[in-house]
Amino acid sequence: MLKGKKAVFALMLPAVTLVAGCFGGSGSKESGKSESAGHKSSKVVINGAGATFPYPVYVNWAKEYYKATGIKVNYQGIGSGGGIRQVTERTVDFGGSDKMLSPKELDKRRLYQFPAIVGAIVVVYNLPGVGDGELKLSNKTVADIFLGKVKYWDNPEIKSDNPGVKLSHQRITVIHRAEGSGTTWNFTYWLSQVSPEWKEKVGYGKVVNWPTGIGAKGNAGVTNYVKQTPGAIGYVEYAYKLQNNLAAAQLQTKEGNFVKPSEQAFKAAASHASWTMKDHFYLPGNLLLQPGKESWPLTAASMILLPRERKERNKLVIEFFDWSFKHGDPIAVKLGYVPLPEKTKEMVREYWKEVVLK
């Protein structure tokens, strides 16, 4: 990290307890008692680990759930790769991943999978004098920046899409994730779809061989570096942009027009999701590049992974997420996420009943 700088988030710690929180507890005032209230015991603890992408909303859901039920939910924000590994090793009750696992991989690891929340990845920048949403970055420009081909902010490639924006001759500092990350999987998958050169030279995955830039741990780590480094650019989940007042670029939709990140743009993309229980809600490209002139191109669902043989523990995890589906939407919206549509929630509940707990 940058020495001498005060960390913006407690998220940088290797292990975090959700009920302690670091995004505050500004959730819904509903104190809805769920079926879990019957467990009413401080001895009941649910442990999870994985993606930092949904971390802010899980923080607040868990805090409110504890108030309502007395049940603690502990979650380590270690990245999707770590979450997949730990739930596969059965060291946690559930894993969080922004990379969806295929039915074949779920069978191999003996896991179930369902969506918990929809969010979005945004490209954030630190350019003094350039406000939030003022900068337009084409698909080619984003790829060229992260390929290390475009090195200064006043490059003609950037200026051509931003004639009214004052861009100084400042060096671009690329910030990317250092660990196995579902956010990275989604971001690099998107780049592979919009840039043939990126697809050929780098490809996509939870970890890639970055051509340029500085690695940081978690969405919080990327956020910190971008916030502290003039000229920096990075990719983070939208909630981190909101909580830290970062500037985010306009990006191109599947149809090619520029759009700003917004709740409406995320909902527009999420509305095209074609979930099925049969495939454990697997979508090969997540919710990236959904059709529609207003659909945010980097919209993604975050998934929950459960061991197949632990029915009793799975029931506890399910009760937490069912409570969150019923009472947590205001929390999710305030943080910049998109709650699952009611139709999707009902499909998830049917999946719990007919597949996970049967």
Q: For the segment 104-154, what is each residue's pLDDT rounded down to a tens digit?
A: 999 999 999 999 999 999 999 999 999 999 999 999 999 999 999 999 999
**66 CA to centre of own chain:** 23
The CATH code of domain 122-265 reads 3.40.190.10
pTM of the model: 0.87
| pLDDT confidence band for 42 (50 / 70 / 90) | low
Q: Could you give the C-alpha distances from 141 to 159, 161, 173, 209, 344, in angstroms and in order?
A: 10, 10, 14, 19, 35
In sequence order, what are the residues at sequence separation of 6 or more whose Cβ sits closer than 8 angstroms to the Cβ of residue 33? 68, 69
Mean pLDDT of the chain: 90
pLDDT in tens, 3-30: 333 333 333 333 333 333 333 333 333 3
| 10-119+269-289+300-356: CATH topology | D-Maltodextrin-Binding Protein; domain 2 (3.40.190)
Residues 174-188: what's their mean pLDDT? 96
The rounded distance, in Å, linking the Cα atoms of 297 and 187 is: 10
The residue-averaged pLDDT of 315-326 equals: 98
Q: What is the mean pLDDT of residues 309-326?
A: 98
Please state the rounded mean pLDDT for residues 341-348: 96
Confidence tier at 188 by pLDDT (50, 70, 90): very high
Query: Does the structure show a pLDDT above 60 at 221?
Result: yes
pLDDT of residue 59: 87
Task: State yes or no: pLDDT of 39 exceeds 70.
Answer: no
Residue intervals in the chain for CATH 3.40.190.10: 10-119+269-289+300-356, 122-265
45: which 2 tokens?
Answer: 């603890």
CA pair distance 158, 148, nearest whole angstrom:
14
pLDDT of 41 reads 52
